[in-house]
A = this chain, B = another copy of it.
Amino acid sequence: MPSSRSALPSTGPVRLGPDARAALRPAAAGIDAGFWHARREVNARVSLPQGPELLESAGNLHNLRIAAGTARGEFQGAYPFVDSDVHKWLEAASWQLAQGGQEDLAAHVDRVIGLVAAAQQPDGYLNTWFQLREGGKRYTDLRWGHELYCAGHLIQAAVAHHRSTGRPELLDVAVRFADHIDSVFGPPGSGKPLDGVDGHPEVETALVELYRETGERRYLDLAGYFVDRYGHGLLGGEAYCQDRVPLRAAETVEGHAVRQLYLLAAAADLATETGDAELREAAERLWHAMTTTKTHLTGGVGAHHDQEDFGDPYELPNERAYCETCAAIASIQWSWRMALLTGRARYSDLIERTLYNGFLAGVSLDGERWLYVNPLQVRDGHTDPGGDQSARRTRWFRCACCPPNVMRLLASLEHYLSSSTEDGLQIHQYVTGTYTADGIRVRAATDYPWHGTIALTVEETPADRSWTLSLRIPQWAGDFRVRCGGETYDGPAEDGWLRLERSWAPGDQVVLELPLEPRLTAADPRVDAVRGCVAIERGPLVYCLEQVDHPGGGLDDIVLDTTRPLAVKHRPDLLGGVTTVVAAGRRRHLPDPGWWPYSPAGTSAGTADASARHDGDPVELTAVPYYAWANRDDGSMRVWLPTS
């Protein structure tokens, strides 16, 4: 084991290796107050501490004890990847430990690490499903076995634990498992017994990070081998498993969304560490294909419940949007790696949108209930079949991948906010707190996303050189204004960055004003699902209507009057304090359709004659941020609103 390991500096989920070809390097930040601080407090106080009990009652910890020989019983859980729930919780808790002052949590982490370590087999292998249920038949079902997937989450947890605490216990487990995997898997002619990949990519980006943490190049090579062996039919050739076409040749994202995105995060990591231009181009091409044709307004991805699939171009249904919470997280992880690799602001634009909408909707305001899928519409008369894919918030899932994934992103969120170069500091996301890099410290104070003012104060700066403070101007912000030392900048920021090069002095102030007028947004006309509709947005937030705010009829009869102005009303009493958008609408009066709901176009019942149909009672519409939906009742909801 490399002796340098424990000497490496603490950092977040992505660190760059010494040879990395990245435009930006991740920088440290701290979140002290404001919107994300509140969400992280709930994560730290409620969600994370509940983890061990939930993992106990679902049987995950029990499985580890049986594997270790310290308990008896049957394997519990329906899936071969239940170990990964434990690993993801460990990763989340480890990032939380870096915040300090969590003695109870630290004790739980130590205990769970002990269970994981005890369950590991002498040669490094660890997967309780195969150890307990399949009679040890390792690697006999790579398509569905999730052994390397679970290994990946274990490695990520170990890296997090090591970076946060400097302690080696879990990293030792991960290294042993990684070495085992490296002894088993390799290309034909390598002398390794198996040429194969896991049906669910995940270990690849974990191996890159293990390389970054340990300096052991074998892990990077193994990750590269795995990434390039997808798409060659080793798993049967299905798009579901990312096996239909090699990533380098792919034209669009496809198949199971989380699998695709974890694989692409690894591709970005590899391009960063190796300078592989073809892999970088593929990642850029696929990101563009995803955002232009397969991303919901919320940043959510994955159009199909069936096979959790990305779906076809412009197939972006509202009520059947799958938009798995894990896919939103994977999209953020991939985009952050692309932001670092390329320096382009658009990647952080998508991160902001996804964070505030498609991701954050996945956890309730109280931190105790979860959504696996994140639809953009729940119809009047919706009947919910229940189960993991319910549109109703749920305490825990049979397939509990999302909750600990949310926990780990919230607990490590400060690592996705800023970056540095030799030239200075780049702020990607705006919070109240500090951004730090190379002798620079900038304090930010803001009530964003409710208010658009971000006040930045230079607290520390090198005295001997000028540097550039780069502010990401969000893609949605048509107008903005920056005041800095008596000067004013009001755009445009064509590549998404406003760059302020100065010889800074402590106490220098920069004020960024982002325009938070509510706005109406329309989609590319090829997005059939929302033709004739608009959505309400304000700043980075997508808004929705909920039934609970609109008594007296269903939401599906409501039409938005786009000729009337939108108003803003801050409601400290509502949903933990949100700014609502108030709009004018009407509730349609539809003629009795008889028994058949289709009729000649142009008649009163038909939709083709748009002008004739929207009589109805005026109704004041109250839109709330999408992330806060389904925290009051189980009524209907919609993001996209038909227009008059």
Contact = CB atoms under 8 A, between A and B. Distances in A.
Given A305-B306, A523-B606, A601-B520, A317 B320 contact: yes
Contact of A291 (B254, B534, B595): B595
A558 to B, nearest CB: 11
A540 to B, nearest CB: 13
7 contacts: A238-B385, A297-B598, A346-B596, A519-B600, A522-B605, A523-B607, A528-B533
Query: Sorted from nearest, which 7 A-B pairs have the closest CB atoms?
Result: A522-B606, A524-B597, A520-B601, A305-B306, A522-B601, A532-B532, A312-B379
Nearest to A293: B597
A288 B254 contact: no
Given A385-B240, A588-B525, A562 B608 contact: yes
B521 A600 contact: yes
A642 B532 CA distance: 10
A252 interface: yes
A381 B289 CA distance: 12
A318 interface: yes
A379 B315 contact: yes
Chain A, interface residues (CB within 8 Å), range: 35 or more
A643 B478 CA distance: 31
A306 B475 CA distance: 36
A599 B381 contact: no
A643 B307 CA distance: 33
A608 B522 contact: yes
Given A252-B381, A385-B309, A522 B598 contact: yes
Interface string A363-386: 000000000000001011111010
B531 A532 contact: yes
Contacts of A557: 526
Given A381-B313, A520-B608, A526-B557, A292 B596 contact: yes
Interface in A524-570: 524-535, 556-557, 562
A308 to B, nearest CB: 10
A613 B240 CA distance: 36
A507 interface: no
B522 A600 contact: yes
B385 A307 contact: yes
A640 B610 CA distance: 16
A525 B590 contact: yes
A306 B389 contact: yes
A187 interface: no
A602 interface: yes
A520 B598 CA distance: 10
A87 interface: no
A441 interface: no
B239 A607 contact: no
Contacts of A182: none
A5 B38 CA distance: 77
A603 B304 CA distance: 30
A314 B379 contact: yes
Contacts of A238: 385
A216 interface: no
A616 to B, nearest CB: 11
A317 B317 contact: yes
A526 B381 CA distance: 12
A520 B383 CA distance: 32
A527 B532 CA distance: 12
Interface string A311-355: 011110111100000000000000000000000001001000000
A492 interface: no
Contacts of A598: 297, 521-524, 535
Interface in A603-636: 603, 605-610, 613
A191 interface: no
